Amino acid sequence: MYREIDPPSDGRERDLARGGRTGPDDARAVPAEESRDVFSRDLDLPRGECRERVLVDGREYSLRGSEVRTLGRVGAFRVVPADELRRPDERLGVLRKDLENLGALGLTRTMPYVVGRERTTIVTLTERGRDVVAASYRPRDAARPQAFYAGIAKERELAHDVRVHQAYRDAAERLSAEGGRVRRVVLELELKREYQAFLQAPNRGRRNGGGRPQRDAIEIARWAEQHQLPIVDGHVQFPDVRIEYETPDGRLDVRDVEVMTPHYRGAHAAAKVAAGFARYGAVGARLSGGRGSSRGGRCKESRLAEEMLQ
C-alpha cells in the first residue's frame, strides 16, 4: 500500500498540528487495539502488522502500526524509556526492530540512560519525526489537539522526566478501571506556556511594558479556576502531566499527576502536596502511587517518598 500524507497548511507551530478527519478508507484494516491507542489513533499512518510505504512532506517512509504507536507515544511525552513502549503481548524482538527502523529513517533517537540503579534506553523524536507526526495528525477534537515534541527539554531535569510516562501509565490504568477513557495528555510545559501567554497578553503591542506581567491576583485566580489548577501561597501549581478523560457518564474531566522524586524539599515539596495532585513517589527506578510498605529496613529515600505521598 502507498499513501501520500499532506502536511498541515495553516502555518501553525509544528508542536501542535491540526487537520481534518481521516476518511473511511484509511480505517478499513485498523486492528481494534490500535484504534483505541490515544496517541496514534488520529495519525493518518499505517496501522497493520506489515510495513507500508507512505510519502510525508516529499519523503518516503516504510512504517507499520507498532512503529506509529511508538512515534505517537514518544512524541506526546517527549522522552520515554524503551522498555515501557512494548506491549505485554508483543514479541521481545518487535520493539528492537521497530526502533532500529525508526532510527534508520531518522525519526527517533535513542540513548543509554540509568534510571535509579537500572540501565535502560530512552527514546525521543527527532525534528523530522515530530514533523512526520504533525503532518499526519488528524485530531478528532480540533479544539483540543494533542501536542507532540522532539528532543529532550532540559538535561538537568531528565532524571525526573523519564519517570513521567510510567506515572501516567499507572494513573491511566486506574482511570480505565473506573470506566474512564483518556482523550489526551497535557505536559507541564504546555500548561505553563499557556499561563505565560495569559500573563503577557496585556503587554502585546506596548512599547513600555518592560515584559513584566500585567495581571492582578484576582485575574490570576480566575484563570487558575478556569483551568482547574490550584493556587498555593499565591502561586499557580502545575502538574507534571494532566490527563484529560471522559467519565463513564460522558463528562469530560481531568486528573493531574505529579512525580515526587527524593530531591523535592521544603516549600516546593509542601506546595506539591497541598496542590492535591495524584502523586507518584519515585525511588530508584520504581514508582509507587500510594502509601508505602511498613516493612523494616527502608532507606531514607523510601521514607521521604512515603511522607510526600501521605
Residue 160 in any domain: the answer is no
Structural domain for 56, as ranges: 2-154
Residues 122 and 195 in one domain: no
Residue 226 grid cell: 478556569
Mean of the per-residue pLDDT values for the chain?
A: 80
Q: Is the pLDDT at 255 greater than 50, yes or no? A: yes
* 113-116: Cβ within 8 A, 24+ apart: 113/81, 113/158, 113/162, 115/81, 115/159, 115/162, 115/163, 115/284, 115/285, 116/282, 116/283, 116/284, 116/285, 116/286
Local confidence band at 282 (pLDDT 50, 70, 90 cut-offs): low
Say which DSSP state 24 is in. G
- State residue 117's pLDDT score: 77
Same domain, 87 and 187: no
Lowest mean pLDDT among 74-78, 273-277, 306-310: 306-310
- Answer whether residue 87 is part of any domain: yes
Is 52 within a domain?
Answer: yes
Better-predicted residue by pLDDT, 274 or 288: 274
